[in-house]
Amino acid sequence: MLTKLKSLKNHQGFMKYFKNTSWLFGEKILRMVVGLFVGIWVARYLGPEQFGLFSYAQSFVGLFTAIATLGLDGIVVRELVKDESRRDELIGTAFWLKLIGAIAVLLILAIAVNFTSNDHATNIIVFIVASATVFQAFNVVDFYFQAKVMSKYIVYANVISLFLSSIVKVVLILNEAPLVAFAWVVLFDSFVLACGFIYYCIKVNILGCKIQNSYSYNLLHKEKNK
């Protein structure tokens, strides 16, 4: 048994996937723990009526968010694993499709709310929560990290977003903020997560190869003309 464990420890492929899974598993546990305590505090503060309204708004938006994803997640990851040379094309195309899908969700919601009995305040909360789908277009960065088994960067972004949004929720509770403020936290959470994706995208230079190669080609072309 010890011999097998040592052989697995020295196996680069196994350790790569084991570390990647460990990062994801640790992030899920942390999210559950923090979400449990902060979520209970938010629920107790808002009370049954307001928390039920907040949950209704999130669930109502959730009915339409499948449009924004367009089922691209698994497809893009699979294509990135098969052919990394198309990385920029795949990520760029997926980004614009998801962004268009998010805008389509907002337009559909604008029509759908007319067929509900929601009051004006509820519709405002619905649209604030729905606006978060726009920033979810930046999740395409996650596709590349999944394909390259480098989920630790996504975990970093998720943890930062989790802690910032949790701190904001606690501050709102202590200051007795209204329900609409917690809807803005949902949008803020998506914004921070998108910023994290952009930061690690630049840091790892995901989309830099194509730009650098084009730049090198232009320099070489100018040298030849001289």
| 16 belongs to a structural domain | no
**Residue 136 in contact with residue 102, Cβ under 8 Å?**
yes
Number of folded domains that form the chain: 1
Mean pLDDT of the chain: 78
| 43 belongs to a structural domain | no
Calculate Rg over the CA atoms of the chain. 22
71 phi and psi, to 5 degrees?
Answer: 65, 25
User: Which of the residues in the chain have pLDDT under 70?
Assistant: 1-18, 68, 70, 84, 205-226
pLDDT at 13: 59
Give the residue numbers spanning the domain of 144: 51-225
One-letter amino acid at 135 equals F
| Terminal Cα distance for the chain, rounded | 67
Q: What is the pTM of this model?
A: 0.75
Tokens of 131: 């606006």
